[in-house]
Every structure is written in structure tokens, then in C-alpha cells.
Structure 1
Amino acid sequence: MLIAQITDIHLGFEPDNPAEFNRKRLDQVLRHLIDGPNRPDVLLATGDLVDRGDVDSYRRLANALSACPFPVFLCLGNHDDRTHFTQQFPHIPVDDGFIQYVVPLDGLRLIVIDTLEPGRHGGAFCAARAQWLSARLQEDRDTPTIIVMHHPPVEVGIEWMNTHPDEPWVARFAETIAGHGQVQALICGHLHRAIVAPWKGTTIAICPSTAPQVSLDLSPIDPDKPDNRPMIIADPPAYALHRWTRHGLVSHFDTADEHVMLAKFDQNLQPLVRALVSERPT
């Protein structure tokens, strides 16, 4: 099974521009997924779907995603608005006011959770959400499960975007999934970079954004002393492909730019391909 992921679309960053930069980048990624060699079985869009939470941007997002010939499942990030989102995506389940739901797939379960707290940039995971997730994990302890969320509960070293490991929501989330060996991975966004990290006995895969990326700078930052470091960079729009097999989840990250071909599978490379394949067990 192939699960594609896009994240941090930030549609509506230029609210008065119908041909805005972020929409062009989103369309570029979607074309790669739809027309490329790796068409997924499902697509996850993991938060910060729009930039200002406005209805019109969600309408344009729904229009863009309508081109997808595969199911699309969405979760919310800190730039999103639950009320305006549900107006344009009424088919996405809402539970107790939160955008949280289960997606049963072939031999796999996706649990989408809501880490939005209005007015806060970082994540949130209250007692009500913890109770809901705990119940979903308890009801099926056998099926391999992936939790889909916007905010990664891990410190990655980019100080101005970090999640502090002592944040209360992180502790509550960790406590909720503790002892649930069926949780194979967490799929997240928010950081606008491709990052993979071990965490609490599972693995976090963080997808780069379709919108511009965050600069990789792991040096300390002083909020009181601007130092002119790059923060947002115009790297190509990107996405993830998560390949689920009986051996687990393998995550690939790619950009939607054209890739310059240096070699192709022709008669010159056929002996190499044959040799490599022949070395594998049948």
C-alpha cells in the first residue's frame, strides 16, 4: 500500500492572488502524484491546509484536491479553523468538536488526531482528545496503526520551531499511546522539512511542505537578537510517500521538480538490473 502525504500548504498566504505561489506549488505536487509512476492509494494532507483559516481558501483547496483520483484524508494544523474547514469538507468526521477519526485500510489503521489549539502556534492534546484516542487504541490492539497528526511531539533542533519535550501536551500524548505496540509510526507535518526520528518506542516521519521550506539551521537562536539568519527558503515543493508492507512502514521524501535523468533502464543497464535481481531470494 502506498500512502502519499502533503503538508503545510498554506493556501491563501496571498489572499487576493488567485494564481498565488502556494497554489502553484500545490498543483505541481498533485500533478506528480496523479501522473507520475508512484500514484498512491490514498493521500494524507496533514495540516496548515490554509494560511489564515478563511472560507475562500478552503474552497480553493477543495477545488484543487477534487482532481485527485484517490481518497484524500485531512487533519488540521495551527493555521487552520475548524468551523470554516467543516463548511468546505463536511464529509470529514468531527468528534466532540475535534477533527479526529479512524481510516480502516487493508491490514492497516490510520488514526487522525487534532492537535490544533486556536491562538497557539505549537501543538495541543487535551484530556478529551486523549480519552478519544485511548478508546480508539483500546478497541483494536491487533491491527497495525499509524497516527496522523500535524504537530510532531519531538524536539528536532530547529529552535524557533521546536516542540519542547516537557510541554504538557507531549506528556499526555506519550502516556496515551504507551503500551500500545500496534502503533507503528506517527506521520506529522508542521516543520516544513523532511525529518525522521525515533520517539517513545515508535518512529516519527515528518513531511516537508508544499509551501516554501524552513531553513536547516541548528544553531541557538536568541529571540532578542535578530541575526539575519535565513528562516524560510524557496526550496522546491515536496511530499512524502509512505510504503506500507508486512515488514512495516518505509518513508520516501521527494520534490515535485523535474529530475535530470543521468541513466535509464536500457540494454546497457539491463545486465546490472538482472544481476541485482538474481541475488535476491525468490
Structure 2
Amino acid sequence: MIIAQMTDIHIGFEPEARPEELNRQRFRAVLDRLQKQPNPVDLLLLTGDITDRGDRDSFEKTAELLSELDMPVKALVGNHDTREELLNAFPDTPTTDEGFIQSAWVQDGLLVILLDTLEPGRHGGAFCESRAAWLAGVLADNPDVPAVIFMHHPPVISGIAWMDPDPADKWLARLCEALSGHEARVQAIHCGHLHRQLSARFCGIPVSVTPSVAPLVSMDMRPISSTKPDSRALITTEPPTYALHRWEKGHLASHYERVGDWDVLAYYGPHLVPMIKHMEDEKGLG
């Protein structure tokens, strides 16, 4: 099984731009690459900040572009989105009894869990007792199944201070408590929000952040002041990125591809058969 992940598209940041806003151009480029790349994709996950303002027009424009895909699409909510308009654009999206956009299912022997970390009006993440109880229940109901979690906000400290949570934020403790006892079988937590690639650990579980489709956050980990601007770079036009998460025979591996123009330096022709055969023959002999 291969799960594609795109995050932080931010459609509607420049709604009046002509002929088309930059974020929509970048989204089109990633969608085009996703359809042309050689690996069959079973599911596309959008892990939040699909829009910039949570408005209906931006969600409808996004859904229209996604309708051209020949794969299932599931959407998660980010801090720039609204649950109401996401559900309007993606009406088949499951919700909990309390209205949170959370769901879970087993596919190819992997428990896939989607979490809602939105608190309206808050830039950072949230994970209330109700959401935590739901997660704990899903994990308890599937005790022997390996799991992977997708959510918008990373529950880790990256060092890019203006984007990070406070380590003392209570939602982090609730999430860790809900995961307690299941750390060994949760293969990974995959997030967005940071607009940069990141690898870390949370409560002993690997955490990875997929870079954004929209422009990226500058990798500047110096302390930042909320009262003294220092003209540092905050947002860059680094290429948009998407991820492919491959689950095969009990192993989860994640690949990240930047989208842009490049040249192919080698094609697999007859002259490379000896090299490929040698590499194949030596497997298992190390």
C-alpha cells in the first residue's frame, strides 16, 4: 500500500491574483507530478491547511482540482481551515459524535488513524479529552494491529520557535497519555504545519513532517523576538514537496519528492543489467 501525503496548500492566500495565485500553481504542479510518477498510489491524504482562510470558494476550488484524480482522497483539518467548509467540500468525510474530523480503518494490515488538532482561533495545535479518549479507544479496539497516525500539528519542538508549540502545552500531554502502552506498534506520526521537513520522536514514536505545497518556512532556528523584528527570512519559494508512505510486509518507509524540473542522468537499459543483477544476487549474503 502506498499513501500519498500533501499538506499546507493554502489555497486562497491571494484570491484575486491573475492569472492564478502562486499557491494554486504550486498545487497544480504537485498534482501533475503525483499522477505522472511511476508508483501506484492507493490513497491521497491532505493533512490540513488546505485553504488559507477556510472559505467555501477556496475549498470548492481545491475539490474541483482533486476531482480529476483517479484515487481516493481524504482531508484533515488545519488551523487555517474550518470544519464546516471542509465537510461541505468533502461530504463523505467521517466525523466523531462530537463533530471532530477523526477516523480510523485497517487497510492491508495497517491501522490508519486521522486526528483533528484544530481549535478555532488558535494557530497552534489542540487535542482535548474527547479526542484523546477516542484515540485511546481506537488503539484499544485494535490491540495487535500496527498503526500509523496522520495529524496537522507536529507534537514536537523543531527549534523554529515561532512555529513550535510550548513543551508545557496540555494537548501534548493528552496525546502522549492516549498513546501510552501502544508506542511499540505505532510505526510513525506524520504531520504538516511546519512547512519544512523534520524528523523527531514523540513519546518514543517517530515523528515526520512533510514539507508544504505552499511556500516553505525558512530554516532559521535562532531565537526570535515578538517585539523586535530583525528582517530575517520567514517564507521562501523552495520547491513544493509531497510524500509517499509505503507499507509492505510490516515495514513502513517514507519518501519525499520536491516538485520541479530536472534532468534524468541514467535510464535502465541493457548496459545496466549486470549492475542490477549483481545488486540483486548479493542480497541476503551480507
Query: TM-score band (shorter)?
Result: over 0.9
Matched, 1:240 2:239: no
Deviation of the 1:281 alpha carbon: 3.0
Is the 2:75–2:90 Cα contact (8 Å) retained in structure 1? no
Task: Answer whether contact 1:154 1:164 (CA < 8 A) is retained.
Answer: no
2:121 alignment partner in structure 1? 119
Structure 1: 5+ residue stretches without partners: none
Amino acid at match of 1:6: M
Q: CA deviation at 1:202?
A: 1.2
8 Å Cα contact 1:185/1:203 also seen in 2: yes
Distance 2:147 2:30 in 1: 26
Partner in structure 2 of residue 41 of structure 1: 42
TM-score by length of 1: 0.96
How far 1:247 moved relative to its partner? 4.1
The residue aligned with 1:193 is 196
Which residue type is aligned with residue 104 of structure 2?
A: V
Separation of aligned partners in 2, 1:248 and 1:123: 29
**What residue is the counterpart of 1:169 in the other structure?**
171
Percent same amino acid among aligned pairs? 48
Matches within 5 A, 1:124-143: 124-143=126-145
CA RMSD in angstroms, aligned pairs only: 1.4
1:103 to partner: Cα distance: 3.0
**Kept after mapping to 2: 8 A contact 1:33/1:39:** no
Q: Tell me the equivalent position of 2:67.
A: 66
Q: Give the 5 Å matches for 1:146-161.
A: 146-161=148-163
CA distance in 1, matches of 2:126, 2:167: 13
**Shift in Å at residue 150 of structure 1?**
0.2
TM-score using structure 2 length: 0.95
Indicate whether 1:16 and 2:16 are aligned.
yes
Q: Deviation digits for residues 179-224 of structure 1, max 9, x if unmatched?
A: 0133211110000111111221211111001111111111111222
Show the 5 A alignment for 1:181-220: 181-220=184-223
Residues matched between the structures, number: 282
Corresponding residue to 2:276 among 245, 266, 273: 273
Give the 3-state SS of the residue equivalent to 1:24 in structure 2. Answer: helix
Amino acid in structure 1 at the alignment position of 2:239: P
1:262-282 Cα deviation digits (max 9, x unpaired): 222223333222211111139
Cα separation, 2, equivalents of 1:133 and 1:61: 29
What is the CA–CA distance in structure 1 between the aligned matches of 2:138 and 2:67, rounded to whole Å?
Answer: 29
Q: The residue matched to 1:271 in structure 2 has which SS?
A: helix
State the distance in 1 between where 2:230 and 2:274 align.
54
Counterparts of 1:220-231 in structure 2, within 5 Å, are 220-231=223-234
Quick one: distance in 2 between partners of 1:40 and 1:117? 31
Secondary structure in 2 matching 1:99: coil
Is 1:85 the equivalent of 2:90? Answer: no
What is the CA distance between 1:257 and its match in structure 2? 0.9
AA partner of residue 276 (structure 1): M
Quote the Cα distance in structure 1 between the aligned partners of 2:38 and 2:222: 38
Deviations 1:11-51 (CA, angstroms, capped at 9, x unpaired) = 11112237211111111111111121123111110000100
